[in-house]
Structure 1
Amino acid sequence: MKAEPAATGAGVAESPDPRVEARADTHLMRSLLVGIFIFMTVYALYFGRAFFMPVILAFLLALTLTPIVRLLRKRGIPEVVSATLLVLLSICVLAIAGYLLSGPVIDLLNNTSSIGQQLTERLAQLRRPLEKIMQVSHQVEQMTETSQEPGVQKVAVAQSGILSSAASNILSAGTSLTIIFVLSLFLLASGTMFYEKIIQSFASLSEKKRALRVVYDVEREISHYLLTVTIINAGLGTVIGLGLWALGMPNPLVWGVAAALFNFLPYVGALLTIVLVAVMALISFDTISYALLAPAFVLLCDVVEGQFVTPMVVGRRLEINAVAIFIAIAFWSWLWGFVGALMAVPLLVVIKVFCDHFEGLGHVGNFLAAQQTAVVEDEPVDDNGKAAA
């Protein structure tokens, strides 16, 4: 007789709480909405790359030049004047670099077959153990070709004209460059307009101050990082170009510019530069021992820049862990090709700085940070276990 109330109480205790179920359903719905939003964003970035790529590049260029505009504004030069001069200077630098690099790059592209043949001849002694394997694969290929039925014909798909494809690419590149420079000019010349719009979006004075402080800190850190890294990469390219010129390497200007551009890709860019310089050095110099000096010099410059110069100038706080870097490079190269790969790390730094300034996204910024920035240093303590002053 006394067991029935206990059983009834146990049954009531085991009944699900409607508030818990509601919170679980809300969390599940929120996760689904976030997943759908991310999927649709990637979809839009992939199929709308003709629009989003120049727009994002314009914002990155504007952020890179913002410290210079701010410095000139303190000297009494208006934003419109300094922004116009900087954008025109960027266009001139790009035009001069394109003119100087067009000839050597076209020659390299036209001589790719002869470069491969010369490299094969220089490395002939390394191919001897593989000759038997190559002969077997060649015999298998011949057997495959002879085993085809007599009535079967090979179908060749005619490709579109080279001239029309080149004209389309040039027109697309010209349109993208126009969008980049015009939009970056408007962004730089706008001055404090965005800060005023942010202030007007909040009601209370405390919210206005907090929003303005966060946005200003984010803009200052990102612009300082982008400008500093751009200057470091330009210096690295200059040093590598001059060093290769002193070693007698052909087209040192091409390899200096390539080293500066590829250095926006940590790890991958340096390795790619070393490999390309090593290939050209092997076919350009008489002895292999002297040819190895060129990639060794590039390796030395990359080590000095990556281990000493950049950490000392930029600081450790904005360093990104290697896993996040490789994932970002793979994602953006799949999304937007080589240009996307160059933008991967700057965009990753932008995301990290934003996450560090918002409490709800702190775990994302912690994941993107390098290991040494995520570890809290132990404070010195006294005999009583309290932190020392």
Structure 2
Amino acid sequence: MTVSPASQDVTTDRVIDTPGTEATSDQGSPGRDRRTIRQNVVVIRNFLGVIVAIVAAALLFFAKDVVLPFALGMLIALTLSPLTRGVARYGVPPIVSAVCLILAVALTTAGGLYLLSGPVSEWIDQAPQVRLELENRLRDISASLETVREASERVEDIAEAAKDNDVLKVAIDQPGIVTSTALDMVTLATTALVALVLALFLLASNDIFYVKIVESFPNLTEKTRALRIVYSIEQRISRYLLSITLINAGLGVTVGLSMWALGMPQPALWGAIAFLFNFLPYIGALTGIALCAAMALVTFSSLPYALLPPLAYLLANIIEGQFVTPVFLGRRLNLNAVAVFSAVVFWAWMWGIAGALMAVPLLVCFKSMCDHIPALSVVGNFLNSHVPLQEELNRSDHPE
């Protein structure tokens, strides 16, 4: 049977004009449009997230004097809230336990500062003499530094001579060290007072703010997630700060006894330095060792014996960092060293020494949020100290 060309054209036209054929050719267009819209929404959301993070960092930087006391007060309240809740089970009102705990913290801090004020004042008075003795012990290094300084001064003189003589120079008088120290002490006392008062109010209110936070969310799933985040942050912060305080106290006693046995002057002050400096991860230990080495060089005439105090300080920090802290705190903290060091540097740049001291607790709070919010799970994975994928591979390679 033969088909004429006319019938072939009619058949082709019928195939082309079939209703389902046109729909099939344009079937992927709505799906592609929806995917494009979703991708654009994700890009816009990420861009807005970056903008919000930058604005928040700028606000934290410029509003340090206002935000810092409130952040410190909240950390104190999170640390002590399990104690007030535990005492409340025995019928003690929250206001009573809150007042007792805040008074205990304030009196302990004030007593420690009073006991250390005498040795610290003596160190300040002896600072010029210590500096001269240290320069004498390090004469060769000082000579090299003096040569570099003279060369830099010559370069500056040449640069100044090349400038126009008509340039107006303005000199701004800087406040003296006594004035600066007094201002810093007033600022520190004000920050501590505001933080303690805020912590007192938070502890006395019991769980009312937790209830307010839960009531702010519309459905049961979000309420449960918010409650888990709050209690997780409270539990981790409380365990971390209480544990690290006890560990640092043990380190301070060990360093103080070591300095006393080696004949270093004011061993109690060295114990206090080890206790306080160890709240700064990595940086505090290095600073304490350097300071101990400088004082040992000034105190002892024999160079080999002068190396014993910093070596003892270093050994105590190694034992604490490699054995004691991982055993009592490693699994609870679950943060890698890079994240901790980066947080210390970032918050030290933002808020100075106070920010460096609060860096790890703030990182623990952020890690708790990442563990309970699916959108932040990727960030939480980067903060982990272990690698879940590697553990799964190891289990698959060595089945039980």
Query: TM-score, normalization: structure 2?
Result: 0.82
Correspondence for 2:120? 105
* Structure 1 position 204, deviation (Å): 5.7
Correspondence for 2:244? 229
Correspondence for 1:58? 73
* Structure 1 position 167, deviation (Å): 5.1
The amino acid of 1:332's aligned partner reads W
Correspondence for 1:182? 197
* Conservation of the 8 A alpha-carbon contact between 1:316 and 1:373: no
User: Are residues 134 and 213 of structure 1, via their aligned partners in 2, closer, same or farther at CA, if it must alter by over 3 Å?
Assistant: closer
Counterparts of 2:356 and 2:322 in 1: how far apart (Å)?
22
1:26 aligned onto 2:41: yes
Could you list the per-position Cα deviations for residues 242-264 of structure 1 after superposition, in whole angstroms to 9, with x for gaps in the alignment? Answer: 32123222232332222222212
* Conservation of the 8 A alpha-carbon contact between 1:241 and 1:252: yes
Correspondence for 1:38? 53
Higher mean alpha-carbon deviation, 330-339 vs 157-166, is at 157-166
The amino acid of 1:65's aligned partner reads L
User: Are residues 133 and 340 of structure 1, via their aligned partners in 2, closer, same or farther at CA, if it must alter by over 3 Å?
Assistant: closer
Correspondence for 2:258? 243
Correspondence for 1:277? 292
Correspondence for 1:257? 272
Counterparts of 2:70 and 2:380 in 1: how far apart (Å)?
24
TM-align CA RMSD: 3.5
* Conservation of the 8 A alpha-carbon contact between 1:119 and 1:283: yes
Correspondence for 2:385? 370
User: Are residues 314 and 76 of structure 1, via their aligned partners in 2, closer, same or farther at CA, if it must alter by over 3 Å?
Assistant: farther
User: Are residues 372 and 230 of structure 1, via their aligned partners in 2, closer, same or farther at CA, if it must alter by over 3 Å?
Assistant: farther
1:72 aligned onto 2:87: yes
Correspondence for 1:325? 340
1:212 aligned onto 2:227: yes
* Conservation of the 8 A alpha-carbon contact between 1:228 and 1:314: yes
Where 2:333 maps in the other structure, the secondary structure is coil
The amino acid of 2:356's aligned partner reads A
The amino acid of 1:354's aligned partner reads M
The amino acid of 2:263's aligned partner reads G
Could you list the per-position Cα deviations for residues 284-341 of structure 1 after superposition, in whole angstroms to 9, with x for gaps in the alignment? Answer: 1121111111111111111111111111111325232222222211211111111111
The amino acid of 1:57's aligned partner reads L
The amino acid of 2:323's aligned partner reads F
Could you list the per-position Cα deviations for residues 141-193 of structure 1 after superposition, in whole angstroms to 9, with x for gaps in the alignment? Answer: 77778888888886532235767655544443332122111111111222222
The amino acid of 2:310's aligned partner reads P
Where 1:83 maps in the other structure, the secondary structure is helix
User: Are residues 207 and 27 of structure 1, via their aligned partners in 2, closer, same or farther at CA, if it must alter by over 3 Å?
Assistant: closer
Q: Which runs of 5+ in 2 are unaligned?
A: 1-8, 17-21
* Structure 1 position 369, deviation (Å): 1.4
Where 1:320 maps in the other structure, the secondary structure is coil
Higher mean alpha-carbon deviation, 364-373 vs 264-273, is at 364-373
Q: Which runs of 5+ in 1 are unaligned?
A: none
* Structure 1 position 49, deviation (Å): 0.7
Correspondence for 1:88? 103
Correspondence for 1:292? 307
* Structure 1 position 274, deviation (Å): 0.7
Correspondence for 1:194? 209
Pairs aligned (count)? 381
1:338 aligned onto 2:362: no
The amino acid of 2:64's aligned partner reads R
Counterparts of 1:166 and 1:172 in 2: how far apart (Å)?
10
Correspondence for 2:4? none
* Structure 1 position 80, deviation (Å): 1.9
The amino acid of 2:239's aligned partner reads H
Could you list the per-position Cα deviations for residues 80-139 of structure 1 after superposition, in whole angstroms to 9, with x for gaps in the alignment? Answer: 222211111111111112222223323434443432321121123556777766675676
* Conservation of the 8 A alpha-carbon contact between 1:214 and 1:357: yes
Give 1 or 2 for the bigger CA radius of gyration.
2
Counterparts of 1:386 and 1:263 in 2: how far apart (Å)?
39
* Conservation of the 8 A alpha-carbon contact between 1:366 and 1:374: no
